[in-house]
Amino acid sequence: MKRVAYIFCLFLITLSVVFAKDGDREFRGVWIATVDNINWPSKQGLSIEEQKKEFIDILDEIKSLNMNAVIMQVRPTAD
């Protein structure tokens, strides 16, 4: 699943490079999905501390890719 996230990140980076005109207004974002543990958390039943560590690791990876926006899907359903 992490491979899918990285491929999606690369897709977003490619789009931002192709359509970038003004570096100050550039949007380079990533979507973090929670549906069926696609991106985060990695599996059900993790403790709060394990989830925090995973999320911080994801944010560190996003920062290393020079992204400037994170779209976090908090609720997977419309309940």
Average pLDDT over residues 2-23: 69
The model's pTM is 0.64
CA distance 2 to 49: 20
pLDDT of residue 20 exceeding 70, the answer is no
- At residue 62, the pLDDT reads 92
Q: Calculate the CA dihedral of residues 5, 38, 1, 39 and round it to 10 degrees.
A: 50
| In the chain, where the domains are located | 2-72
pLDDT over 70 (residue 68): yes
